[in-house]
Amino acid sequence: MDAVSYPNEKVSEFINNNIIPLRVSFDAQPLAKDFNVKWTPTLVVVDAAGQEHSRTVGFLPPEELIPSLLLGIAKTYFDGDHVAETIPFLNELLAGFPRSNAAPEAVYLHGVSSFKSTHDPKPLKGAYEKLLAEYPESEWVKRASPYGLL
């Protein structure tokens, strides 16, 4: 990632504006053990208390790294019951990276976050319909399939 993704201007700008990066060697103790780092690169998105919310292992090109980090940030807010803060990050991911590997999960999480914010089931059904139409091979279609009955 040092040769391709991190030097990318968009990646650098995204990281500088959105996260506090910390580089830890896979053998640096106790952090490598605490975060179960077995291979590099491993990217772990944690909250201010050090609680993990997202993890990726292996190389990600710039067009996959940014959406992966956006999803990680969104999941951090979601897990912390701050669903209103979740939605802008998911919107940015879906608008800027609709074909990324993170997009189907972002559609699902957007539907769930919208439901949790409004208690209106329409976003759940909408998420299922969008997943079915745009990402039919995604595992997230199966996970959202009960929402198709709403």
- CA-based R_g, the chain, Å: 16
Using one digit for the tens of pLDDT, what is the confidence trace for 22-51?
888 888 899 889 999 988 899 999 999 999
Indicate the residue type of 12: S
Question: 142 exposed, middle or buried (CB, 10 Å; 0-12, 13-18, 19+)?
Answer: exposed
Q: State residue 127's pLDDT score.
A: 98
Alpha helices in the chain (DSSP H): 9-18, 31-34, 62-79, 83-96, 103-118, 122-134, 139-144
> Each residue of 9-22: b (16+ CB within 10 Å) or e?
eebeebbeeeeeee
Q: State residue 128's pLDDT score.
A: 98
Using one digit for the tens of pLDDT, what is the confidence trace for 111-126?
999 999 999 999 999 9
Rounded distance between C-alpha atoms, residue 66 and residue 113, angstroms: 21
Q: State residue 3's pLDDT score.
A: 82
Q: State residue 115's pLDDT score.
A: 97
Q: Residue 62: pLDDT above 90?
A: yes
Give the mean pLDDT of the chain.
95
Pick the closest to residue 36 from 51, 26, 45, 46 (CA basis).
Answer: 26
Q: State residue 117's pLDDT score.
A: 94
Pick the CATH number of 9-149 from 3.40.50.20, 1.25.40.10, 3.40.50.10310, 3.40.1360.10: 1.25.40.10
pLDDT-based confidence at 1, cuts 50/70/90? confident
Using one digit for the tens of pLDDT, what is the confidence trace for 63-102?
999 999 999 999 999 999 999 999 999 999 999 999 999 9
pTM confidence score: 0.93
